[in-house]
Amino acid sequence: RKEVEQDPGPFNVPEGATVAFNCTYSNSASQSFFWYRQDCRKEPKLLMSVYSSGNEDGRFTAQLNRASQYISLLIRDSKLSDSATYLCVVNMGSGAGSYQLTFGKGTKLSVIP
């Protein structure tokens, strides 16, 4: 059973393009949601948290749809430096002190000159 499922990659896009990734999660009681970025052979790093109202950070926009249990990441005006693997992460724990951070397998993005 796949608890956090992401679009299969790789996505190959030209510079300047807009690209969107989707991620679905299985537990409707999930509490918090994140997108992490992982460069090749490096550690994952937080890109942005995802809030119920949606949130934007520069060229990046994240949205949450609780009813359909999916989150999305939109990257506008893609740069070569955006090339990486993007990990969808969901905390499926409930209640104080619980922890069930589940990582998706990641979607690889390659931005082409």
Q: For other proteins, what does the binding mask look like between residues 33 and 62, x meaning CB under 8 A?
A: -x-x----xxxxxx--x-------------
Q: Nearer to other proteins by C-beta: 78 or 109?
A: 109
Dist CA 54 CA 56 (whole Å): 7
Q: What gap in Å lies between CA 88 and CA 78, rounded to an integer? A: 19
Regarding 108 and contact with other proteins (CB under 8 A), the answer is: no
* Alpha-carbon gap, residue 75 to 73, rounded angstroms: 7
Binding site for other proteins (CB under 8 A): 32, 34, 36, 41-46, 49, 87, 89, 91, 97, 99, 101, 103-106
